[in-house]
Amino acid sequence: MTLQIVEPETSDRTRTGATVEFRGLRRSFGATTALDGLDLTVEPGELVALLGPSGCGKTTALRTLAGFERPDAGTVLVDGEDITAVPAHRRDAGMVFQSYSLFPHLTALDNVAFGLRMSGIGKAERRARAAELLDLVGLPQHAGRYPHQLSGGQQQRIALARALALRPRVLLLDEPLSALDAKVRLTLREEIRRLQKQLGITTFFVTHDQEEALSMADRVAVMRAGKLEQCAPPAELYARPSTAFVAEFVGVMSRIPARPGPDDGTVQVLGRTLPVDGRLPDADGTADVDAVDVLVRPEAVEVAADEEGTSRIVGASFLGATTRLAVRLADGAEVTADVPTHAMATLPVGAAVTLTLPDRPVLVDAR
């Protein structure tokens, strides 16, 4: 399964992506609020992954952009034009769905050509262009097959070709890989990314799989309860999460008990005083400011064997190049730390250790 080299004429004919803006989008379903004032701007040609737990509103945001949901309030703008009231079939947005959405009564070629037929393009031209798209997704030999004769991965490639056939301004991917097995998913996500870059289409990718989001997207928009928590490039999102929710949702976080430091904007943790990234969680006056947690990535926690140490290793999980340790502190709290596997010779389970944190600002959350 290799990606075909994109035909130059396809690239030439494809329009560049559009700017997409969500402004104060609100949408409720009965008592459930799916979107609670969502604001997000996506630049032309960008691939933005909408990431979040179930019910956070990511799919609703995508469906609102597609025209399948009407927001209760707020606007959707594409290239500055308000399309909130434009019907779905006039939005110029290609979409790939989570479930296999190919039309069962049409062959792969006819499926890809369907949108072109709806646009009134002549038979010869639409068949040629559909064949070109099938070539692009690496399935030219499956043109005459019906959906039930194709595997899940092949069906999603055809669905992608169908979405791209109309050269849309925006490409919407609603968890297109979640029904596929792990190997196909990995291959297809690389292909989607490469196609998206080659064609330069502004793309929204809804997923609940953080690895998928971090590996594919230019920026990841983490959503929670209908709102945007943070939208940033994957590396920034991982290294500098702006909220405790983002920190714990993206990647693994270790919570270490701490106390506010002597100066404003500092915290005492593991016997050191470190600056706080942001501010202490006492802004609304409801949090117990004497009991906070410092959030750090497991790989940022340094573990050193120390017979005098008050912490003890209580568990170890082999992860390949690294081993994840569970370390119990003197106060009974457990901290997760990643160490190189080769260092495990000096860090057996049961060993006394000392934990240290790097000298940089840390994220703090209420305990």
Partner 1 sequence: MARLSTFRFPFRFGRAAVLLLAGAYFLVPLACAVAFSIGAGVPGRSVSFDAYTGVIGADGFTDSLTLTLKLAAATIALVLGLLVPALVTVRLAAPGLRTLVEIVCLLPLVVPAVALVAGISAVLRWGPDHFAGTPIFHVLVALQDPNFPVVLVLAYTLMALPLAYRMLDTGLAAIDLRVLVEAARACRASWPRTLWQVVLPNLRGALLNTAFLTLALVLGEYTVAAILGYRPFAVWILAISGSQAQMSVAVSVMGLLFTWVLLLVIATAGRTRRPKETS
Closest CB to partner 1 among residues 181, 263: 181
Residues of the shown chain interacting with partner 1 in the complex, contacts defined by CB under 8 A = 66-68, 87-90, 93-95, 97, 99, 101-105, 114-115, 118-119, 145-146, 148-151, 154, 159, 162-163, 166, 172
Nearest to 353 by CA among 334, 181, 341: 334
- Give me the least distance between CB of 105 and partner 1, in Å please: 4
Given the complex with partner 1, which of 151 and 273 has the nearer CB atom? 151
At 322, which helix (H) or strand (E)? strand 322-328
Residue closer to partner 1 (CB basis): 196 or 254: 196
Measured from the CB atom, is 166 or 337 closer to partner 1? 166
Please count the other Cβ atoms lying within 10 Å of the Cβ belonging to residue 81: 10
8 Å CB contact between 233 and 41: no
Residue 337's closest CA among 246, 263, 256? 256
Residue (126 or 224) nearer to partner 1, CB: 126
Tokens representing residue 179 in the block: 């029904």
Residue type, 120: G
Q: Considering the complex, what minimum distance in angstroms separates the CB of residue 150 from partner 1?
A: 7
Distance between first and last Cα of the chain: 49
CA–CA separation, 188 and 216 (whole Å) = 11
Exposed/middle/buried for residue 269 (C-beta within 10 Å: 0-12, 13-18, 19+):
buried
